[in-house]
Structure 1
Amino acid sequence: MTELSCSKSPSMVLSRAMTFFLTMLAMIAFAGNSLLCRLALKQTAIDPASFTSLRILSGALALRLIMGLRAGSPSSGNWPSALALFAYAAGFSYAYVSLPTATGALLLFGAVQATMIGYGVCRGERLGMLQSAGLLCAFGGLAILLLPGLSAPPLAGSALMVVAGVAWGVYSLRGKGAEDPAGVTAGNFLRAVPMAAALSAIGIPWASMDSSGFWYAVVSGALASGCGYVLWYMALGGLKATSAAIVQLSVPVIAAVGGIVLLGEAITVRLMIASTAILGGIALVIVERQGGKGGGTDQ
């Protein structure tokens, strides 16, 4: 999953073509986390704790290697943010034991954005009429998605994914405005490794593994997470804040398409209605919020 804050790396100017290319790769990588996790937990023998640990460890190693190639850019980070990162990764893995790819990605994205928007409201940010309507629309879509019925997602998995989304929202808020977001993320991944190791130790009685599950977890951590974050931070150098926020709406859509193509998952009418309401409502809030600040400012 994706860091959803929009802090830009300084002094990075990109062409439109390069910005588009990097953004596209980053969004595919972020959606890839959902696909890889669901694929591993559905079709291989790996357990959620092992997937979480391997994802965090491989992400930490990949980011450390990337940071090592950058002269004068040591890793930083802090323990509270690392805890939020670990809570996201663990909740994400356990949720995808039962959730379809598209539903999980939509719940995660909605929870992240709700957390960040809610934080702004609690800090005194005023919502205009259109923003309020967008927020109500998004929460209405979430309610539609979770209403009891034959096509309703499992409650336990949904709750875990919402917790994961809140944790990632907290992580994004804590990292907002960081001067070196890639370095901070590298440091936080490194700090999350012992937490993931503790989770795996607790889960030893239920641990299982095969080669396919191992490699899905490694690719999720090293490429979809580690390299995906670096690509995103590079792309932010050529994106306005509004564009950076809006483009992330594509992640649940890409995940849904991937779930259909790679996992044979069905898209229900309920999911389509909920997706339209949630993503449309969030888009309205983002556009109105950034429009009031000026499209070229950072979030």
Structure 2
Amino acid sequence: MLFKITLAMIAFAANSVLCRLALAGQQIDPMSFSSIRIVSGAVVLFVIWWLSAARSKIEWNFKNGMFLATYILAFTYAYVKIDAGVGALLLFGTVQLTMVFYGIFHGEILNLQKGFGLLIALAGIIVLLLPGVSAPSLFYSLMMGISGLAWAAYSISGKRMLNPLSSSLANFIVAVPIVLIVSFVLKQDIFMNTKGVVLAMISGGLTSSIAYVLWYSIVKNIDRITASTVQLSVPCFAILGGSLFIGEEVSLRVILSAVVVLCGITVVIFASRKNIASTK
């Protein structure tokens, strides 16, 4: 399970790096990136589903497709102006809050230790958003927040899905026309080169589609609080990737924020393991 979680988190971070690499370098416009990403993901999942030995029935769910489309559109637009690591911090900070409070509302227990860890993680996000020279744009931060809400809803719904592959395929197929229509309605300047198209295809066909199937197989077996918390490791991978592959400068504020968030994750995971051990 730990190996699967690590793979999924690295893939999530790769999405941030790929998107930012494409947009920051003016390789492609954001709406075209979103469109190619979602179509590529749908095609790859369909091929995998079609070639699978046990071709399970596709689980259609319009809401999940809407969540996926909203996440992808807001995510891409936010990365026009936000660095990879900073965007990931905002995204998964929002995911953490949403999934934790949803879990509590539906009967999951938030003990003192988990609550303390959550507060620490939130403090890390607050450090990032405090006014200052290196603080991200409020508008683009809000866009990433919307993306986080949509991804949290998408993750929560994963616990009810019977088959990760057929569910993910249905979600991508539903999301395709939504993303394409929104891209057409916004009518932004369209531009792209080969590198931008390839980056969008990798994001959609590998680090989105396959990783989301893997994620759906994970969330079925862990509680919502743990699922939300492990995703806060993604910003750390994204910060590293942004620095290595894009040359983004990592400010002291971002480093401090990431360290504080990781401390909060550690506390929550330790509390979860302690609870499991005490019930045995």
Same fold (TM over 0.5): yes
Instruction: Output the CA distance in 1 between the equivalents of 2:99 and 2:23.
Output: 29
Change (3 A) 1:187 1:238: closer
Deviation (angstroms), 1:267: 1.5
Name 2:137's counterpart in structure 1: 154
Instruction: Output the CA distance in 1 between the equivalents of 2:268 and 2:276.
Output: 13
Instruction: Output the CA distance in 2 between the equivalents of 1:108 and 1:94.
Output: 13
User: Greater CA deviation, 229-238 or 89-98?
Assistant: 229-238
1:48 to 4, 27, 30: 30
Q: For 1:209-220, what aligned pairs fall within 5 Å after superposition?
A: 209-220=192-203
Deviation (angstroms), 1:280: 2.2
Deviation (angstroms), 1:54: 0.9
Name 2:56's counterpart in structure 1: 73
Q: Deviations over 1:160-191 (max 9, x none)?
A: 11110111001111121422122111100100
User: Greater CA deviation, 240-249 or 63-72?
Assistant: 240-249
Instruction: Output the CA distance in 2 between the equivalents of 1:79 and 1:118.
Output: 24
Name 2:83's counterpart in structure 1: 100
Change (3 A) 1:284 1:262: same
**CA contact 1:111–1:162 (8 Å) conserved in 2:** yes
Instruction: Output the CA distance in 2 between the equivalents of 1:295 and 1:52.
Output: 45
Structure 1 residue matching 2:39: 3-state secondary structure? helix
Q: For 1:96-245, what aligned pairs fall within 5 Å after superposition?
A: 96-232=79-215
Q: For 1:266-277, what aligned pairs fall within 5 Å after superposition?
A: 266-277=249-260
Instruction: Output the CA distance in 2 between the equivalents of 1:238 and 1:115.
Output: 19
Q: Say which structure is richer in helix.
A: 2
**CA contact 1:67–1:75 (8 Å) conserved in 2:** no
Deviation (angstroms), 1:217: 0.7
Change (3 A) 1:180 1:196: same
**CA contact 2:158–2:219 (8 Å) conserved in 1:** no
**CA contact 2:103–2:225 (8 Å) conserved in 1:** no
RMSD over aligned Cα atoms: 2.9
Structure 2 residue matching 1:117: 3-state secondary structure? helix
User: Greater CA deviation, 223-232 or 74-83?
Assistant: 223-232
Instruction: Output the CA distance in 2 between the equivalents of 1:241 and 1:120.
Output: 6
Deviation (angstroms), 1:49: 1.2
Instruction: Output the CA distance in 1 between the equivalents of 2:230 and 2:62.
Output: 30
Q: Deviations over 1:8-66 (max 9, x none)?
A: xxxxxxxxxxx676555433322110111000101134111111111111101111111
**CA contact 1:23–1:232 (8 Å) conserved in 2:** yes
Deviation (angstroms), 1:138: 1.8
**CA contact 1:240–1:295 (8 Å) conserved in 2:** no
Instruction: Output the CA distance in 2 between the equivalents of 1:121 and 1:25.
Output: 27
Counting matched residue pairs gives 279
**CA contact 1:22–1:234 (8 Å) conserved in 2:** no
User: Greater CA deviation, 197-206 or 241-250?
Assistant: 241-250
Letter in 2 for 1:132: G
Structure 2 residue matching 1:74: 3-state secondary structure? coil
Structure 1 residue matching 2:110: 3-state secondary structure? coil
Instruction: Output the CA distance in 2 between the equivalents of 1:26 and 1:265.
Output: 23
2:11 to 18, 26, 29: 29
Structure 1 residue matching 2:134: 3-state secondary structure? coil
Deviation (angstroms), 1:231: 4.6
Change (3 A) 1:239 1:166: closer
**CA contact 1:41–1:47 (8 Å) conserved in 2:** yes
1:253 to 224, 227, 236: 236
**CA contact 1:242–1:287 (8 Å) conserved in 2:** no
Structure 1 residue matching 2:136: 3-state secondary structure? coil
